[in-house]
Chains A and B, each alone.
Chain A
């Protein structure tokens, strides 16, 4: 099993450009998430998808859109990149355990720089 995979690993964009970050999981998880990680800020949830066909905003959704393409794939789109979106982006997936716990599995991350 590859677990959670993300592409690309690195990306440099100019202000105003658009791009889509791809995420896929092969663990048959229902829920998928997009986070951004910034120094001193920890991980902040951008969007999540509790199940195929549903998406919800997290803590910092402005400037982003998501698509849950199918059960495996969850993409994050920046329509018009801004320097404030320079960050490391992590995708994660999870399945609620029998005890209700939400253990998440993370991808390797995408390091995005917006100039």
Chain B
């Protein structure tokens, strides 16, 4: 079955630390990739997306993600996190003809 794996369940960082959240998927063909963020008590919002072209995509709030096709990965990065980045982060993968599949999410806690 198709799946999306997020390696870290809960990440705890201090402000200004660098962030990398892992995401791997199991599909072999062309995929569209997304990272969504859910701030406490809020709904999911799109952070960034990759459809094609430059494998390094930049999103809102200083986040970026790199698509590495050979590793089936789409890791999320931010050079310096802020307290306001505390949220749950979801990786999602879409392949033509299928529904969007979400990973189980990574909770990020940033201490000030």
Residues in chain A within 8 A of chain B (CB atoms): 33, 35, 40-45, 48, 58, 90, 92, 94, 97, 99-109
Contact = CB atoms under 8 A, between A and B. Distances in A.
B46 A42 contact: no
Interface of B: 9, 30, 32, 34, 36, 42-46, 49, 51-52, 90, 94, 96, 99-100, 102-105
Nearest to A45: B99
A44 B3 CA distance: 12
A106 B94 contact: no
B77 to A, nearest CB: 21
Contacts of B96: 100
Contact of A42 (B32, B99, B103): B103
A42 B104 contact: yes
B104 A101 contact: no
Contact of A108 (B42, B52, B94, B99): B42
Given A103-B34, A108-B43, A41 B104 contact: yes
Contact of B9 (A40, A45, A92, A109): A40
Contacts of B32: 99-102
A101 B51 contact: yes
Given A40-B9, A48-B99, 9 more contacts: A42-B102, A44-B102, A45-B99, A58-B99, A92-B44, A99-B32, A99-B52, A100-B96, A108-B42
A44 B103 CA distance: 9
B5 to A, nearest CB: 11
